[in-house]
A and B are shown apart, each in its own frame.
Chain A
Amino acid sequence: MEKLTVVEGIAVPLERAQVDTDQIIPAEFLKRVTKTGFDDALFYAWRQDPDFVLNDPAFANPTVLIAGADFGTGSSREHAVWALRDYGFKAVISPRFGDIFRGNSGKQGLLAAQIAEDAVEKMWALIREQPGISASVDLVSKTVMLGTLTVPFQIDDYTRWRLLEGLDDIALTLRDESSITEFEKTRQSWRPLTLPAQ
Chain B
Amino acid sequence: MTVGRTLAEKVWDDHIVVKGTDGAPDLLYIDLHLIHEVTSPQAFDGLRMAGRPVRRPDLTIATEDHNTPTLNITKQIADPVSRIQIETLRRNCEEFGVRLHPLGDIEQGIVHVVGPQLGLTMPGITVVCGDSHTSTHGAFGAIAFGIGTSEVEHVLATQTLPLKPFKTMAVTVDGALRDGVTAKDIILAVIAKIGTGGGQGYVIEYRGSAIRALSMEGRMTICNMSIEAGARAGMVAPDQTTYDYLKGKPHAPKGEDWDAALAYWQTLPTDDDAVFDAEVLLDASELEPFVTWGTNPGQGVLLSDAIPEPESFDDPNEQASARRALEYMDLAPGTRMKDIRVDAVFMGSCTNSRIEDLRAFASVIKGKKKADGVRVMVVPGSARVRLEAEAEGIDKIVEEFGAEWRFAGCSMCLGMNPDQLAPGERCASTSNRNFEGRQGKGGRTHLVSPLVAAATAVRGTLSGPWDLEEAR
Q: Are A76 and B147 in contact (CB under 8 A)?
A: yes
Chain B 242-286, CB-CB to A under 8 Å as 1, else 0, gives 000000000101000110110010000000000000000000000
Q: Are A96 and B197 in contact (CB under 8 A)?
A: yes
Q: Are A99 and B232 in contact (CB under 8 A)?
A: yes
Chain A residues, Cβ within 8 Å of B84? 31, 33
Chain B residues, Cβ within 8 Å of A31? 38, 67, 79, 81-82, 84-85, 416
Query: In this assembly, does A69 line the interface, its C-beta being within 8 Å of a C-beta of chain B?
Result: yes
Alpha-carbon separation in the docked complex, A166 to B245 (Å): 47
With beta carbons under 8 angstroms apart, the residue of B32, B61, B160, B437 that contacts A45 is B437
User: Closest CB-CB distance, B195 to chain A, in whole Å?
Assistant: 9
With beta carbons under 8 angstroms apart, the residue of A74, A107, A156 that contacts B164 is A156
Q: Are B58 and A194 in contact (CB under 8 A)?
A: yes
Closest to A20 in B: B435
Q: Report if A158-B148 is in contact (Cβ < 8 Å); known contacts: A45-B436, A192-B31.
A: no
Q: Report if A76-B146 is in contact (Cβ < 8 Å); known contacts: A18-B196, A192-B120, A195-B99.
A: yes
Q: Are B160 and A191 in contact (CB under 8 A)?
A: no
Query: In this assembly, does A51 line the interface, its C-beta being within 8 Å of a C-beta of chain B?
Result: no
Interface size on B, residues (CB 8 A): 83
Alpha-carbon separation in the docked complex, A169 to B151 (Å): 9
Q: Are A103 and B23 in contact (CB under 8 A)?
A: no
Q: Are A78 and B149 in contact (CB under 8 A)?
A: yes
Alpha-carbon separation in the docked complex, A176 to B154 (Å): 13
Chain A residues, Cβ within 8 Å of B224? none
Q: Which of B214-222, B300-308, B317-325, B371-379 contacts A (4 or more CB under 8 A)?
A: B317-325
Chain B residues, Cβ within 8 Å of A28? 415-416
Chain A residues, Cβ within 8 Å of B416? 27-28, 30-31
User: Closest CB-CB distance, B106 to chain A, in whole Å?
Assistant: 16
Alpha-carbon separation in the docked complex, A76 to B135 (Å): 12
Alpha-carbon separation in the docked complex, A187 to B15 (Å): 10
Closest to A70 in B: B197
Q: Are A27 and B148 in contact (CB under 8 A)?
A: no
Query: In this assembly, does B331 line the interface, its C-beta being within 8 Å of a C-beta of chain A?
Result: no
Chain B 295-313, CB-CB to A under 8 Å as 1, else 0, gives 0100000000000000000
With beta carbons under 8 angstroms apart, the residue of B29, B99, B131 that contacts A180 is B29
Q: Are B32 and A194 in contact (CB under 8 A)?
A: yes
User: Closest CB-CB distance, B63 to chain A, in whole Å?
Assistant: 11
With beta carbons under 8 angstroms apart, the residue of A30, A98, A183 that contacts B230 is A98
Which A170-194 residues have C-beta < 8 A from chain B? Answer: 170, 172-174, 176-177, 179-180, 183-184, 187-194
Q: Are A18 and B201 in contact (CB under 8 A)?
A: no
Chain B residues, Cβ within 8 Å of A35? 42, 45, 149
Alpha-carbon separation in the docked complex, A77 to B66 (Å): 13
Q: Are B230 and A73 in contact (CB under 8 A)?
A: yes
Chain B residues, Cβ within 8 Å of A45? 436-437, 441
Query: In this assembly, does B175 line the interface, its C-beta being within 8 Å of a C-beta of chain A?
Result: no
Chain A residues at the B interface, C-beta cutoff of 8 Å: 16-18, 20, 22-23, 26-28, 30-35, 45, 68-70, 73-79, 81, 96, 98-100, 103-104, 107-108, 156-158, 169-170, 172-174, 176-177, 179-180, 183-184, 187-195
Please, could you name 15 A-B residue pairs with CB atoms under 8 Å apart, sorted by A? A31-B84, A32-B81, A74-B433, A75-B433, A76-B131, A77-B39, A170-B153, A170-B154, A172-B162, A173-B158, A179-B17, A189-B253, A190-B260, A191-B31, A191-B122
Q: Give the 5 A-B CB pairs with smallest separation, nearest first.
A: A107-B150, A104-B148, A190-B261, A78-B148, A190-B253
